[in-house]
Amino acid sequence: MSEMEKNRESWSQYSETLEKSKEYHSKWHIAVSSPVRREILKLLAEGKNEDEIMEMLKLSKKQLDYHVEILQWGFCIHREGDRWVVTKEGEVVHYLDKQK
């Protein structure tokens, strides 16, 4: 399944009703509301691995796992093999931080 198909599939699960759509957007907003998680998204987009991210952001493995779990829950990343990939929803952080 392609990345685009995965995104459509995740959105289709939440687009059936207004309540589900609100839930989808709420999860996304929670995921990107943290400055640490936005930095993680940027670093993943640059191709950094988990060890590099932990070192750069001074995070423990447990802390990184916590943030990664929220980013995945919020549709911002997904796993491809042994690495995390930023989704279209996750790419939006580049635009959010430019607005500041």
In the chain, which stretches have pLDDT less than 50? 3-4
- State how far the Cα of 49 lies from the Cα of 69, in Å rounded to an integer: 15
Q: What is the pLDDT of residue 17?
A: 84
Please tell me the predicted confidence (pLDDT) of residue 7: 52
SS3 17: coil
Distance CA 26, CA 98 (A): 21
- Give all domains of the chain, ordered by start, each with its CATH number: 20-98 (1.10.10.10)
User: Would you state the pLDDT for residue 20?
Assistant: 85
Dig out the tokens for 61 from the structure.
């493995």
Round to whole Å and give the CA distance between 51 and 13: 33
